[in-house]
Amino acid sequence: MNLLSIENICKSYSEKILLNEVSLGIEEGDKIGVIGVNGTGKSTFLKIIAGVEEEDAGRILKGNNVRIEYLSQNPYMDSNATVLEQIFKGNSSLMTLLREYESLLDELNFNSNNASLQNKLISLNSRMDAQNAWTVESEAKTILTQLGISDFHAKVSTLSGGQKKRIALASTLISPADLLILDEPTNHLDNQTIEWLENFLNSRKGSLLMITHDRYFLDRITNKIIELDKGNLYAYKGNYSEFLEKKSERLDLEAASENKRANLFRRELAWIRRGAKARTTKQKARIDRFEDIKAAKIDINTEKIEISSLSSRLGKKIIEIENLSKSYGDKKLLENFSYILLRDDRIGVLGPNGSGKSTLMNIISGKVPSDSGLVDIGDTVKIGYYSQENTHMDENLRVIEYVKEGAEFITVADGSKISASQMLERFLFPPTQQWTYVGSLSGGEKRRLYLLRVLMEAPNVLFLDEPTNDLDIETLTILEDYLDSFNGPVIAVSHDRYFLDRMAKKIFQYDGSSNINIFIGNYSDYSERIQILETEKEISKPLSENKSDTNNSRDKKTKPLKFSYNEKREFEEIDSIIENLELAIEEINVKIGKASSDYTKLQLLMEEKGILEDNLNEKMDRWAYLNELAEKIENGINE
């Protein structure tokens, strides 16, 4: 069933055409991802469909009973409202009832013996029953909890920007809708929450239209991709992987068509240059044909952004971190953290929001002081820091002036120089846009410009704080290609699983209690390792905690606990295995101390130590389980 039809929509801002007679039909069950370079009009397109913004021309046909819910990038929030009041926004009878019910509960908390309030509560309970509102209320609290919001009565004004965005997302998700429109729903969410949202949207009935730069998210949810490019809309059936295949085929066909047109154009041009005179009808027709061929040129962008090796020389000593600690009030973010940064390190940093990921980067780069500890930076180190904030951008500068403040020319790997203007073109800023003011750019375009400015300064160590939040997929691909050839270490805080799989060789994981765990490998390796550890913990739980054993105990004959053959052998050997692992780690620590100037050897030793420590942790878990089992056997406890 067709929910909504978009017919020949046009939208321009000044001379910039965002949408040029685009059309689209949205059917029941469609889950559509919208992609395109920042500044092409993706958010504007969603706003027009949601009815938040007017189109210049064209029309949108929508069924009378089709309900639409829209999450914008910057949702309006009532600062005086509580979390639940904000969640139950809207003027529907259901939302009005839920707000009234939550408000009455707050009153009763302060005046529980008030007979009038109690009678009102009885009346509201009946109305809640009649409208099946309990389900919505329960779902709202469940979704808020999953999104990391536990204080339902906190004032919106006391919350961080990320928390506000999650509340707006929860409000959108609980509202009944035939079409859910989401603009960047994964921003400000950690990896675990993104995976929860992925499952929620996959199981949800109804259609979905969303903008996201999270490629795994797109791949696992969508069944249709639409791409906005230079005012045109291209629709592809399938998920993101299928889109990549089909777009490649489209570009090949366009290139072949353009080559044929170019050959014909050259022949016609030769004829025109020979001095043809438009005296006869035949000659006039041929000249008209030449003009038609000339006008039919397809704009094929074959230029790739090549920004490899824009880094300055890096010496042997890079950054040495020793016993860093940092707290804000009673909250410990970091405690006695030490690490030696190596030349080929590619580190992804994971952890819950507010755990201290950005703080770590700010301490290392000297932007924030630590409470204790030392950061020793090598003399040749030049840090390029792409932070979450770009508030320092002077919006009164022209685009090219902003980039030239970093450098007017850069030298690439082959020794040639590229001007700031050429680099801007390669970063999708055409000459006409280079002389516009920074303040006139969209949020995504500003982030792309900021990234270029960081790279133009030729750093040899890169810190990237949430680079995937506002960069479009094309720019992310450019950045990933650049990192492949970057001759220095990279530390990136990111929730983008695709990006972390693409760039990371190590994962720093904040465990929520000021400790950082180090895992070798990319995000998928880390995720697999975490699942194994959780499974092993579940297996090693005390048998009394195993619910299935407890529930079935009535139906089974009890029998004495005993070791299996393998468990008995493991129990006899595990103490010596642990002792040997501890000795091996001590020996590695001695070698690390002696190899402080040999960075290649140091890296190998650090990786070997990480593997040994992982093995030791596994064996300690098994030791705890086997000793508990031995104690139960000795005490004659039955299964």
Inter-residue contact 224 to 203 (CB < 8 Å):
no
- Across 402-460, the runs of DSSP E, i.e. the strands, are 409-411, 417-419
Q: Residue 39: what residue type?
A: G
Instruction: At 40, list the tokens.
Output: 């092409």
Let me know if residue 46 belongs to a domain: yes
Let me know if residue 490 belongs to a domain: yes
Distance (Å, whole) CA 188 – CA 194: 10
Kindly give, in sequence order, each residue whose CB lies less than 8 Å from that of residue 345, ignoring residues fewer than 6 positions away: 489, 490, 491, 505, 506
State whether 253 and 221 are in the same domain: no
Distance (Å, whole) CA 471 – CA 297: 30
Distance (Å, whole) CA 113 – CA 110: 9
Range of the domain at 206: 2-94+154-244
Q: What is the pLDDT of residue 153?
A: 83
Of 514, 531, 548, the residue at which a domain comes to its end is 531
Q: What is the pLDDT of residue 19?
A: 93
Interval 233-244 mean pLDDT: 90
- 3-state secondary structure (DSSP) of residue 227: strand
State whether 327 and 414 are in the same domain: yes
For the chain, the average pLDDT equals: 82
State whether 415 and 397 are in the same domain: yes
Distance (Å, whole) CA 433 – CA 398: 9
- 3-state secondary structure (DSSP) of residue 488: coil
Q: What is the domain count for the chain?
A: 4
State whether 158 and 76 are in the same domain: yes
Inter-residue contact 467 to 386 (CB < 8 Å):
yes
- Residue 399 CA to its chain's centroid (Å): 27
Nearest Cα residue to 364 out of 423, 324, 401, 407: 324
| Distance (Å) of CA 523 to CA 198, 465, 477, 508 | 17, 16, 17, 10
Q: What is the pLDDT of residues 165-212, one digit of tens each?
A: 889 999 899 888 899 999 999 987 888 889 899 999 999 889 999 999
Out of 428-432, 560-564, 604-608, least confident range:
560-564
Categorize the per-residue pLDDT at 605 as very low, low, confident or very high, splitting at 50, 70 and 90: confident
Nearest Cα residue to 542 out of 634, 436, 624, 440: 624
pTM higher than the cut 0.75: no
Kindly give, in sequence order, each residue whose CB lies less than 8 Å from that of residue 174, ignoring residues fewer than 6 positions away: 87, 136, 139, 140, 143
CATH code assigned at 597: 1.10.287
Q: What is the pLDDT of residue 311?
A: 57
Q: Can you tell me which residue has the tokens 């895992």?
A: 519
Let me know if residue 159 belongs to a domain: yes
Interval 287-303 mean pLDDT: 56
User: Which string of b and e fits 334-354 if b means at least 16 CB within 10 Å?
Assistant: bbebebbbbbebbbbbbbebb
Let me know if residue 379 belongs to a domain: yes
Inter-residue contact 485 to 308 (CB < 8 Å):
yes
Q: What is the pLDDT of residue 312?
A: 66
Inter-residue contact 359 to 332 (CB < 8 Å):
no
State whether 286 and 205 are in the same domain: no
Of 207, 222, 244, the residue at which a domain comes to its end is 244
Categorize the per-residue pLDDT at 321 as very low, low, confident or very high, splitting at 50, 70 and 90: very high
State whether 335 and 196 are in the same domain: no
State whether 166 and 30 are in the same domain: yes
Maximum C-alpha span of the chain:
113
Tell whether the model's pLDDT for residue 557 goes beyond 60.
no
- Cα-Cα-Cα-Cα dihedral sign, residues 516, 520, 524, 527: negative
State whether 258 and 234 are in the same domain: no
State whether 288 and 329 are in the same domain: no
Number of H helices, E strands in the chain: 21, 20
Q: Can you tell me which residue has the tokens 């099946």?
A: 132
- 179-183 β-sheet, strand order: 68-71, 179-183, 207-211, 31-35, 224-229, 232-237
Runs of H (alpha helix) within 274-305: 281-295
**554 secondary structure, DSSP code:** G
Winning range, highest mean pLDDT, from 1-10, 12-21, 540-549: 1-10
Let me know if residue 130 belongs to a domain: no
Let me know if residue 102 belongs to a domain: no
Distance (Å, whole) CA 263 – CA 267: 6
State whether 375 and 437 are in the same domain: yes
Let me know if residue 547 belongs to a domain: no
Of 531, 553, 582, the residue at which a domain comes to its end is 531
Runs of H (alpha helix) within 51-147: 83-87, 93-110, 115-130, 133-146
Q: What is the pLDDT of residues 26-56, one digit of tens each?
A: 999 999 999 998 888 999 999 999 999 999 9
Phi-psi group of 354: left, alpha or beta (phi > 0 → left; psi -120 to 50 → alpha; rest → beta): left
Let me know if residue 326 belongs to a domain: yes
Strand-pair category, 31-35 with 207-211:
parallel
Three-state SS for 330-380 is CEEEEEEEEEEECCCCEEEEECCCCCCHHHHHHHHCCCCCCCEEEEEECCC
CATH code assigned at 52: 3.40.50.300
Q: What is the pLDDT of residues 416-453, one digit of tens each?
A: 788 888 888 888 888 888 999 998 888 888 888 999 88
State whether 412 and 270 are in the same domain: no
Inter-residue contact 472 to 446 (CB < 8 Å):
no
Residues found in the chain: 639
State whether 495 and 610 are in the same domain: no
